[in-house]
Amino acid sequence: MKIGIDQMAFATTGKYIDLRELARVRGDEPDKYTIGIGQDRQAVVPPTQDIVTLGAAAADQLMTPTVRQRILTIIVATESGIDNSKASAIYIKHLLGLGDYVRTVELKEACYSATAGLQFARGLVAVNPQELVLVIAADIARYGLATPGEVTQGAGAVAMLVSQNPHVLAFEPTAVSLTKDVMDFWRPLYASEAMVDGKYSTNVYIDFFKQTLTRYQQLTGRQLADFAAVLFHLPFTKMGKKALAAVLGERTDATAQRLRTALAASQVYSRQVGNLYTGSLYLALMSYLQNGTAQPGDRLALFSYGSGAEGELYTGILQPDFKNSLSPVAETLANRQQVTISAYEDDFNQQLGMKSADISFDLTKDPAKFVLAGQQDHQRCYQKR
């Protein structure tokens, strides 16, 4: 039985900043941001948005009456949790109006956990082929104003349905996972911004990619020539370029050219929103499928990386109807509004403003369908419009 990703949808906030403008305000060369890091725009997060509203906005695009009936499990992968105890999946289930006979859980391992969610979903569908599993990767990447990581912030969610006979990508059996206790990036319980050893983290990422790829090749006998594309977790688009260069070197043969062209197609959307943490690899997949030359039957390799650190390399076969099974990402991105750097800084400082038992946010500034209205008696209040 084929099992894999059946449908995919993306959501982000309604606002962004232009990174050339950020570079000028921070006193940096714009080319450092757009070429050196490889980012053009970055999602701006108002206090009325969080992983629940973003996750609901992504998943809402997948809801049909049949889908609603068949979802038995909701897995939310995130490292931007909004509660130390209650799973964000429960809030999302409520906002989507799904029935009560459903399993809900939240998973964490930095940017990696959406891949774990897909693997767990695969197991659930293997046991019960009628089941649909909703896997949502939702995050807000925060490093702090005027820090080296600022240019690599971002926010958004990718929602995926995992099913039998999928329409997008059928998973192949071999998946290589690698875990080592590494301090390249982490966020202590008391911190709202990530701590990171930036240069070291890029080296660990590349090392994990090379190790998982080598083991995959040993286990399957396949080579890079067997992949139509290698898709990467993209904390910033240059990271994918560095990782691919680490295995291609100066090669100029047809395989090397194909993989470089595919990488460029996979980077288009990430350049516009920034790091989605758990969702970045899956936004790269959507970007490749909508901007590249993908064909049904192609074998795609996916490299998932989460600091701390865990990597996984796995492959899937592209299905005939993949083009009609993806939300219109370019349209979502085109509908956003540009804001000034000082407006972004205000939002940045107000976000995570749940510091008192009762608080209410000005909802007139956020036209999104799902919003965080505030908090009452320490309980988060969400609204669907």
Residue whose CB is less far from ligand HMG, 352 or 359 = 352
Q: How far is CA 251 from the centre of its chain?
A: 30
381 labelled catalytic: no
Give me 7's structure tokens: 């449908």
Size of site (CB under 6 A) for ligand HMG: 30
Report helix angle 280-291 to 113-127, nearest 10.
80
Query: For ligand HMG, which residue of 59, 107, 132, 151 counts as binding (CB under 6 A)?
Result: 151
Counting every residue, how long is the chain?
385
- Buried/exposed code over 341-377 (b: 16+ C-beta within 10 A; e: otherwise): beebbebbeebbebeeeeeebebeebebebbbbbbee
Cβ 194 to ligand HMG, closest distance in Å?
A: 7
Beta-bridge mates of residue 376: 379
Rounded-to-integer distance, Cα 51 and Cα 31, Å: 31
Between residue 336 and residue 365, which ones bind ligand HMG under the rule CB under 6 A? none
Residue whose CB is less far from ligand HMG, 98 or 135 = 135
Between residue 267 and residue 326, which ones bind ligand HMG under the rule CB under 6 A? 275, 277, 305-307
The H-assigned helical ranges of 168-236 are 198-220
170 phi/psi in degrees, rounded to 5: -95, 125
227 phi/psi in degrees, rounded to 5: -105, 135
**Which one of the listed residues 106, 131, 233, 312 is annotated catalytic?**
233
3-class secondary structure, 182: coil
Rounded-to-integer distance, Cα 130 and Cα 72, Å: 9
Cβ 224 to ligand HMG, closest distance in Å?
A: 21
What is the Cβ-side half-sphere exposure of residue 198, based on CA atoms within 13 angstroms?
A: 12
Residue number of the CB atom closest to ligand HMG: 36
The answer to whether 243 touches 201, Cβ cutoff 8 Å, is no
The reply to whether 149 sits near ligand HMG by the rule CB under 6 A is yes
Query: For ligand HMG, which residue of 60, 79, 312, 347 counts as binding (CB under 6 A)?
Result: 79
Beta-bridge mates of residue 313: 176, 303
Cβ 128 to ligand HMG, closest distance in Å?
A: 31
Cβ 30 to ligand HMG, closest distance in Å?
A: 8
Between residue 177 and residue 216, which ones bind ligand HMG under the rule CB under 6 A? 184-185, 196, 198-199, 201-202, 205
111 labelled catalytic: yes
167 labelled catalytic: no
9 phi/psi in degrees, rounded to 5: -145, 150
Residue whose CB is less far from ligand HMG, 29 or 83 = 29
Cβ 260 to ligand HMG, closest distance in Å?
A: 16
Between residue 228 and residue 257, which ones bind ligand HMG under the rule CB under 6 A? 233, 235-236, 239
Cβ 268 to ligand HMG, closest distance in Å?
A: 19
Catalytic residue set: 79, 111, 233
Residues that bind ligand HMG (CB under 6 A): 29, 31-32, 35-37, 79, 110-111, 148-149, 151-152, 184-185, 196, 198-199, 201-202, 205, 233, 235-236, 239, 275, 277, 305-307
